[in-house]
Amino acid sequence: MTLEWEQVMVDSADPVALGRWWAEALGWTVVNDAPDEFEIRPAPDRLPGLLFTTVPESKTVKNRLHLDFRPVDQEAEVARLLALGARHADVGQGEQSWVTLADPEGNEFCVLGARRS
């Protein structure tokens, strides 16, 4: 059996707003801009993507799954994401080499430090 990773589903109150935020944050392309299913990908024909769907309930606890990103310059990338509307998030991680942020709807993600050689 062969599986291809298609996308990660992201529950949201406003799929279009959150999807557009992530598209700008990642520099990805919008491939579906329906109000209830907003999908972005690295390029139209590249996977995996992120698919934002509407759910009635709001986020209340720490994500059980989150995304990690490794930029060239962690400090600059954290500043850029904060300027876009991310915020610092405390999920009990303590003092670490990565920075935990949350998107505008509160979904946590991490901005990692430089890769060790």
Q: Evaluate if residue 78 carries a pLDDT over 70.
A: yes
Q: Give me the phi and psi of 19, to 5 degrees please.
A: -65, -40
Alpha-carbon distance values, 33 to 23, 38, 41, 47, 86 (Å): 11, 5, 12, 17, 22
Q: Which CATH superfamily groups domain 1-55?
A: 2,3-Dihydroxybiphenyl 1,2-Dioxygenase, domain 1 (3.10.180.10)
Outline which parts of the chain fall under CATH 3.10.180.10. Answer: 1-55, 66-117
Nearest 10 degrees: CA dihedral of 15, 4, 98, 53? Answer: 10
Q: Measured between alpha carbons, how far is 81 from 37 in angstroms, rounded to an integer? A: 24
pLDDT digits 0-9 by tens, 19-47: 999 999 999 999 999 999 999 999 999 99
pLDDT digits 0-9 by tens, 93-111: 767 789 999 999 999 999 9
Q: What is the CATH number of domain 66-117?
A: 3.10.180.10
- Kindly give the pairing relationship between strand 67-69 and strand 108-111: parallel
With beta carbons less than 8 A apart as the criterion, state whether 54 and 75 touch.
Answer: no
Output the pLDDT for position 117: 63
Q: What is the pTM of this model?
A: 0.89
